[in-house]
C-alpha cells in the first residue's frame, strides 16, 4: 500500500506532522512519500498511484494552498482515500469534503490516520468497529458551537523524516553576530488550556492540551541535531501549558547539547505566573520567547479573552530583560476596535519599550483573522463588523467602521510585504511615519529629533543625530505568521 503525504506551508519549517504521520503509516507496513510542496515539486505520478493521500492543514494559508491540490488529487485518482488532518481540517470539514476529502481528522490525528490505513489494508482493529474515523473530529462541529469532547491521549512514535527535504532548505536562525544556524522543529505538546477568542486552537482543542512523551521529543531533537540542526523551534502553542514537562525537556536537551539553542512560545500570563523559570530558560539556551501580546489596549485584550493586561505586558518585558531572555512580541495590529490614534499608540509603545528590533515587521500589518468556529463570533462588539463565512477566503470577512483604518492596514501591508528582508528599524520607521501622518500627529522620533535639535541649537553644537547603538536580536528568517 502506498501513501503520499503532502504539506503546503509550515512557515519555513520541516513539516513535523508529515514525519509523525509517516512514522505511523510505515509502522503499519505502508510505503510513504512525504512531499513538502513549499519546497519541492509534487509528482503527478505519485498522486495517480497512491492508495491514500494525506494533507496536513495546520493553518489558514496552508489550507488555502492545499485546496487546488486536493481537487487535483481527487480528479486524478478517484479511488484514493483522501485524508486531511491538522488544526484547520475540522474547522473547514464540509468545504474540504466538497473538494474531495474522505476523512477529516483533527489535531491529534495519528491514531485515526493509522486506523484508516489499517482498515484500508483489511486489518480493521477493534477500535474501528466502534467508530468511524471520518466522524472522529467532525462530530460536535456546527459553526461556532462545539461540544467539548475529550481528545485522545496518543503515545507518539518517533517522527520519521526520511524523504523530507534537508534542514538546510528551511528557515535559518539569524544571529546578532551575523551567523546563521540550521533550525529543526519539533512539538512537545499540542493544543492549549486557554480559550482566547480569536485563536484557531480553541475550537479544535476546546481548552485541552496533550503532551508528546519526553523520550519521543528528545529522540526527535537528537535526530535533527544529527541531521545538522543547531537550533530547535518548539512549535507548542504554549510551552508553559505544562511547565514541568517543558522544563524537563529543555534541561535534558541542554545537558546533552549545550551548544544548541531553542525558541518557544509562551503567553504573558504563564511567563508571569512561572517567573522563576525565566532564568532557567536563559540558562538552557533559549534564544528567544515568542509571546502573543496582540494589543496594548486593555479593552481589546478583554474582548480577545487574552488573560493579560497592558501592565502585564510591561511587566513581562522587564522580567525577560532581567532574566536575559529575548522577548519576541506578536500582535493582531488591525482589528475592528482600532483607531488611527490607537495604532500610533501601539507603535509608540513598541518604540518606547525599545522593542523595535524584536518585532517582525509583518506583525505591524496583521489583520484579525476570523476562521469558522472563532470564539469572536459570539462577541457582541464583533457582530456589527462581521460578514457571513466566505468559502473563497475561509474566513468571516470584517470591515472597519472607519475606512481610513482599513486603508492604513492595506498600505502598511504593502510596505512590509514588499520589503520582507529589509532592516526592521527602517521598516518600522516607515510604517510609523505613515501612521502618524494619517493620524495627524508627530512621530515620537520626530518629537525627539525636534527637541534634540532645539537643544543643540541652544548649546551651539553642530548638526548631527546622536548615534545610539542597539543590539539586534536573533530571529528566524521566515517572516510570515498566520
Ligand atoms: S494562549 Fe495562545 S494558543 Fe492558547 S488559546 Fe490563547 S492564543 Fe491560543
Q: Is residue 49 domain-shared with residue 180, that is, in the same domain?
A: no
Residues 396 and 442 in one domain: yes
| Per-residue model confidence (pLDDT) at position 131 | 41
For residue 464, pLDDT over 60 is answered with no
Verify whether ligand 1 is closer than 6 Å to residue 202 (CB atom). Answer: yes
Residue 150 CB partners (closer than 8 Å, separation 6+): 208
pLDDT of residue 221: 98
Amino acid 422: pLDDT: 80
In this structure, which residue's CA is closest to atom 8 in ligand 1? 199
Our mutation pick for probing the ligand 1 site, out of 91, 192, 204, counting the most ligand atoms within 8 A of Cβ, is: 192
Do 260 and 378 belong to one domain?
A: no
CATH of the domain at 22: 3.40.50.360
Residue to mutate, 58, 187, 193, 199, ligand 1, most ligand atoms under 8 Å from C-beta: 199
Regarding whether 174 and 115 lie in a shared domain, the answer is no
- The alpha carbon of 87 and the centre of ligand 1 are apart by a number of angstroms equal to 13
Report how far ligand 1's centroid is from the alpha carbon of 479 (Å).
20
For ligand 1, whether the C-beta of 292 sits within 6 Å is: yes
Q: Considering the domain boundaries, does residue 479 fall inside one? A: yes
Count of domains observed in the chain: 3
Beta strands in 18-87 (DSSP E): 31-36, 52-56, 81-85
State which residues form the domain around 310: 166-264+293-317
Out of 77, 108, 141, a domain closes at: 141
C-alpha dihedral, 345 to 347 to 350 to 355, nearest 10°:
-170
Residue 133 and residue 194 in one domain: no
CB atoms within 10 A of CB 312: 20
Q: How confident is the model at residue 225 (pLDDT cuts 50, 70, 90)?
A: very high
Same domain, 313 and 341: no
Co-location of 424 and 341 in the same domain? yes
Are 8 and 126 in a shared domain?
Answer: yes
Do 193 and 339 fall within a single domain? no
Q: Say yes or no: 307 and 336 in one domain.
A: no
pLDDT of res. 446: 65
For residues 103 and 202, state if they share a domain. Answer: no
Distances (CA, A) of 348 to 208, 217, 223, 358, 447: 36, 40, 44, 14, 11
Q: What is the mean pLDDT of the chain?
A: 90
Q: Which residue from 190, 195, 238 has its CB within 8 A of the most atoms of ligand 1, so it is best to mutate?
A: 238
**Ligand 1 contact via 113 beta carbon (within 6 Å):** no
Q: Is 196 in the pocket of ligand 1 (CB under 6 A)?
A: yes
**In CATH, what number is assigned to the domain containing residue 180?**
3.30.750.210
Query: What pLDDT, on the 0 to 100 scale, is given for residue 428?
Result: 95
Amino acid at each position: 500500500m502506498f501513501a503520499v503525504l503532502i504539506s503546503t506551508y509550515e512557515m519555513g519549517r520541516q513539516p513535523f506532522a508529515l514525519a509523525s504521520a509517516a512514522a505511523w503509516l510505515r509502522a503499519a507496513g505502508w510505503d510513504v512519500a512525504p512531499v513538502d510542496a513549499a519546497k519541492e515539486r509534487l509528482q503527478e505520478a505519485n498522486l495517480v498511484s497512491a492508495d491514500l493521500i494525506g494533507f496536513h492543514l495546520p493553518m489558514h494559508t496552508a489550507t488555502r494552498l492545499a485546496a487546488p491540490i486536493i481537487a487535483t488529487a481527487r480528479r486524478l485518482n478517484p479511488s484514493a482515500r483522501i485524508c486531511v488532518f491538522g488544526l484547520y481540517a475540522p474547522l473547514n470539514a464540509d468545504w474540504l469534503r466538497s473538494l474531495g476529502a474522505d476523512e477529516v481528522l483533527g489535531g491529534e490525528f495519528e491514531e485515526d490516520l493509522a486506523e484508516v490505513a489499517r482498515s484500508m489494508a483489511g486489518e480493521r482493529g477493534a477500535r474501528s468497529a466502534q467508530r468511524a474515523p471520518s466522524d472522529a473530529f467532525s462530530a460536535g462541529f456546527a459553526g461556532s458551537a462545539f461540544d467539548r469532547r475529550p481528545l485522545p491521549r496518543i503515545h507518539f512514535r518517533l517522527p520519521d523524516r526520511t524523504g523530507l527535504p534537508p534542514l538546510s532548505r528551511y528557515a535559518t536562525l539569524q544571529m546578532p553576530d551575523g551567523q546563521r544556524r540550521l533550525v529543526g522543529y519539533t512539538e512537545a505538546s499540542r493544543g492549549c488550556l486557554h480559550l482566547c477568542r480569536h485563536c484557531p486552537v480553541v475550537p479544535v482543542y476546546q481548552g485541552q492540551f496533550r503532551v508528546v512523551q519526553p523520550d519521543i521529543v528528545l529522540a526527535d531533537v537528537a535526530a535533527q541535531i544529527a541531521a545538522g540542526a543547531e537550533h530547535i523551534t518548539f512549535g507548542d502553542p504554549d510551552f508553559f501549558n505544562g511547565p514541568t514537562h517543558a522544563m524537563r525537556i529543555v534541561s535534558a536537551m541542554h545537558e546533552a547539547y549545550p551548544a544548541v539553542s531553542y525558541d518557544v512560545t509562551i503567553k504573558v500570563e504563564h511567563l508571569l505566573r512561572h517567573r522563576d523559570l525565566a532564568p532557567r530558560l536563559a540558562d538552557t539556551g533559549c534564544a528567544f520567547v515568542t509571546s502573543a501580546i496582540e494589543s496594548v489596549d486593555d479593552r481589546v485584550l478583554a474582548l480577545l479573552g487574552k488573560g493579560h493586561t497592558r501592565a502585564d505586558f510591561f511587566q513581562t518585558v522587564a522580567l525577560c530583560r532581567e532574566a536575559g531572555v529575548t522577548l519576541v512580541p506578536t500582535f493582531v495590529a488591525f482589528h475592528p476596535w482600532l483607531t488611527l490614534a490607537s495604532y500610533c499608540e501601539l507603535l509608540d509603545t513598541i518604540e518606547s519599550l525599545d522593542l523595535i528590533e524584536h518585532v517582525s515587521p509583518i506583525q505591524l500589518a496583521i489583520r484579525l483573522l476570523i476562521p469558522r468556529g472563532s470564539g469572536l463570533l459570539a462577541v457582541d462588539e464583533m457582530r456589527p463588523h462581521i460578514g457571513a463565512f466566505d468559502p473563497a477566503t475561509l474566513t468571516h470577512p470584517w470591515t472597519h467602521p472607519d475606512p481610513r483604518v482599513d486603508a492604513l492596514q492595506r498600505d502598511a501591508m504593502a510596505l512590509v510585504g514588499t520589503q520582507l528582508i529589509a532592516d526592521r528599524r527602517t521598516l518600522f520607521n516607515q510604517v510609523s511615519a505613515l501612521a502618524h501622518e494619517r493620524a495627524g500627529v508627530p512621530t515620537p522620533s520626530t518629537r525627539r529629533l525636534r527637541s534634540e535639535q532645539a537643544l543643540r541649537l541652544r548649546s551651539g553644537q553642530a548638526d548631527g543625530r546622536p548615534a545610539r547603538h542597539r543590539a539586534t536580536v536573533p530571529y528566524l528568517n521566515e517572516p510570515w505568521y498566520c
